[in-house]
Structure 1
Amino acid sequence: MPMNPSPAPSVAEQLALYWRLMRFDRPIGIYLLLWPTLWALWLAAGGLPPLPVLLVFVLGTVLMRAAGCVVNDLADRDFDPHVARTASRPIAAGLVAPQQAIRLAVVLALIAFGLTASLHNVPVLYWSVPAVAIATIYPFMKRYISVPQAVLGLAFSWGIPMAYQAVQQRVPLLEAGLLMAANFCWVVAYDTYYAMADRDDDLKIGVKSSAIFFGRYDRAAVIALQLLALGLLLTVGLLRDLAWPYAAGLAAALVTVLHQAWITRDRIPAVCFQAFLSNNRFGALVFVGLLLALR
């Protein structure tokens, strides 16, 4: 006899699946995207930015990260079932249909665009277009380029010029460029730790990552990128003549870098993932130093 079809999920169950699909149960990506945006907002304003601008950027960060996660899972729906850590994701597990996910991503992006439009700053809207384009193409890059983390670094840095434009009505090329370069290096570094946790699975299914590209020099590359990021952040502080708490925040972030390097010496996947997660502390320490320096 034919089996009875599974009952359709309730509204609560469907919302729970969407919550997981947007990765709200794992907010580390929100924090890692938000910290550099907050750095830029505080530097652009010389302290607390206008509250409407701050609110738009915080909410926009949350929404665009959620949309990015949905697009990522759509792009990886043929790969995720073969990776232990991602096999239970809603699309990979067949719990959310691709068409549903596409509609969700579009709604999230439209809400984020509406928030940005509420600032009544047309150049910020112009800056948002490449931001959406880069975030959309990133999930597909692991098929084509050896270091797809470079595209992620660009995507996670695009909020910086948008923040300057929203606060100052311009983008100071030197300061914003240094901040973007610092964040780019940091993103590639921490996402390499993430990739180190998945390296064996990625090799099996044939996708590319910085961990595979750097090979046995993976930790050396991560440390070099993190030190370069700190050097660029220090340069920003020197150019702005920021008070000593900023340097103290960078020094504390350096301790986090050294701790990550030590615990990942054996390249144990679970420990590499913990090193990735601890970059939330790195971003927070830089922000707290900046916050105290600009009081």
Structure 2
Amino acid sequence: VALGVVLALPLPAVAAGLAATPLWVGYPLAKRFTDWPQAVLGVAFNWGAMLGWVAVQGSVYLPVVAPLYAGCFFWTLHYDTIYAYQDHRDDVKAGIRSTALRLADQTPVYLRAFDACVIASLGASACAAGVGSEPLFWAGLVATYVHLEWQRRNINYSSPAECLRLFRSNREVGLLIFLAIALAKLSQRQQQDDAEPFGAKATNSALAKEERSWRQMTGYEMLGLVMETGDMNELKAILCR
């Protein structure tokens, strides 16, 4: 199914998608050879950030895509480290390696560092994409950090069920990031519409009314036309017909 989706994309996106194949093949093996398989997952899983941009824009714009990719990478380190704590005792017996085993007592410190990198990277990407001036974006990003910090403070590393619950709560993190971006873009569009010159907004309405004979216009309509355009010449042009 995933291959079918990739092949349905424009050619540059297909090439970008297929380039990630070695990463997907290598991830299951990484647990045997490195203490950081979560990092390998982050590199592979978040390739979609680059793929999505290429699919829409046709090429990679690194000032936006690189920090976006980095932010998603560090987010993966956060949630997959929590996930790894579910099985860390069994992993020791099976000889499987993970950040949960590697970081051990230092996990809370590393999670805080990962979270700071998430926020900094997403903020840099937003600034490069032109939404860094939107308060709604930063409000969403602050909410994202608060949620990540809430997870970090409430982890019971010895409870697989609790680790799974907090891992699943990252769905809300994704929603917060999406809302931050979407609302910022909507706010920008609204501001652009509001910034359109008043005369330009009125022009279409004025032209439509000019097409009507002045004899068909009431005095109130004529007055309304002048008020819309702010120009008596519009009224004179109609009366001279």
TM-score with structure 2 setting the length: 0.72
What CA distance in whole angstroms lies between the structure 2 residues aligned with 1:269 and 1:233? 30
**Who is 2:169 aligned against?**
278
1:167 aligns with 2:60: no
Q: Quick one: which amino acid aligns to residue 199 of structure 1?
A: H
After TM superposition, give the deviation of residue 115 of structure 1 in Å. Answer: 3.0
Check conservation: 2:155, 2:162, Cα contact below 8 A.
yes
What CA distance in whole angstroms lies between the structure 2 residues aligned with 1:205 and 1:117? 37
After TM superposition, give the deviation of residue 266 of structure 1 in Å. Answer: 5.6
1:199 aligns with 2:88: yes
Provide the alpha-carbon RMSD of the alignment: 1.5
Q: Secondary structure at the match of 1:162?
A: helix
Segments of 5+ residues of structure 1 without an aligned counterpart are 1-107
What CA distance in whole angstroms lies between the structure 1 residues aligned with 2:58 and 2:130? 22
Q: Quick one: which amino acid aligns to residue 118 of structure 1?
A: A
Q: Secondary structure at the match of 1:291?
A: helix
**Who is 1:69 aligned against?**
none
Q: Quick one: which amino acid aligns to residue 261 of structure 1?
A: R
Counterpart mapping for 1:255-274 below 5 A = 255-264=146-155, 267-274=158-165
Q: Secondary structure at the match of 1:294?
A: helix
Percent identity between matched residues is 32
**Who is 1:215 aligned against?**
104
Summarize the Cα distance change of 1:199–1:165 in structure 2 as closer, same or farther, 3 Å threshold: same
**Who is 1:114 aligned against?**
4
**Who is 2:141 aligned against?**
250
Check conservation: 2:35, 2:99, Cα contact below 8 A.
yes
Q: Aligned pairs, how many?
A: 184
Counterpart mapping for 1:22-41 below 5 A = none
Q: Secondary structure at the match of 1:165?
A: helix
What CA distance in whole angstroms lies between the structure 1 residues aligned with 2:24 and 2:156? 32
What CA distance in whole angstroms lies between the structure 2 residues aligned with 1:159 and 1:294? 21
- Bigger radius of gyration, 1 or 2? 2
Segments of 5+ residues of structure 2 without an aligned counterpart are 187-241
More helix by share: 2
Summarize the Cα distance change of 1:202–1:166 in structure 2 as closer, same or farther, 3 Å threshold: same
1:152 aligns with 2:28: no
After TM superposition, give the deviation of residue 267 of structure 1 in Å. Answer: 4.3
1:186 aligns with 2:80: no
Structure number with the bigger relative contact order (C-alpha 8 A, sep ≥ 6) is: 1
Check conservation: 2:38, 2:99, Cα contact below 8 A.
yes
After TM superposition, give the deviation of residue 144 of structure 1 in Å. Answer: 0.8
Counterpart mapping for 1:70-85 below 5 A = none
